[in-house]
Amino acid sequence: MGSARLGLLGSVIMATVVMAGCTPRDDAASGGGDTAATSAPSASASGAPAVDAATKATCTTISGDIKTTMAKVADAEKIGPPAGHSAVSAQYSAGAAVLYANTFTSSASVNDATKQVADAMSDLADTYATPPKGKPSKAALDAAVKGLEAACAAS
């Protein structure tokens, strides 16, 4: 069961990564200039690196993805066992796949924190895949989300 789900998760991740590269860019169509200079952090008047706008945008997207996943999990939990366990597992797996696809920012700390949230979601998906006795703890996921929030605040 785990290897089939892991294979499915890998396929979802690959499809997401491939599709992300297929989005047309406005600057390429207009013959615009180099975008690397606009996404790299620049120095502020104090000499400290300025906030990376692309990383901040990714943090906002990831935060929204987490909220969406948790809302879908809450809906799936309402189904109740045993079918609800499969639905919750599927929602955590889908949420993790979306987060894994967003771990490519210029901030290593945000990438690592996002991966930790996705890993915690994957662990919960595995727990729900084999019907648990009682409600599994979300402590690891909550801690990972707080770590991500801290990483995003620092970037």
What pTM did the predictor assign? 0.67
pLDDT band, very low/low/confident/very high, at 17 (cuts 50, 70, 90): very low
Condensed to tens digits (0 to 9), the pLDDT of residues 67-112 reads: 999 999 999 999 988 888 999 999 999 999 999 887 777 788 999 9
Condensed to tens digits (0 to 9), the pLDDT of residues 48-78 reads: 454 578 888 889 999 999 999 999 999 999 9
Condensed to tens digits (0 to 9), the pLDDT of residues 133-151 reads: 878 899 999 999 999 999 9
Contact yes or no for 128/88 (Cβ under 8 A): yes
Contact yes or no for 131/82 (Cβ under 8 A): yes
The pLDDT assigned to 51 comes to 53
Contact yes or no for 84/78 (Cβ under 8 A): yes
* Residue partners of 73: CB distance under 8 A and separation at least 6: 88, 91, 92, 95
Task: Give Cα 7 distance to the centre of its chain.
Answer: 18
The pLDDT assigned to 80 comes to 85
Residue-range domain boundaries for the chain: 51-155
The rounded radius of gyration (Å) of the Cα atoms in the chain is 18
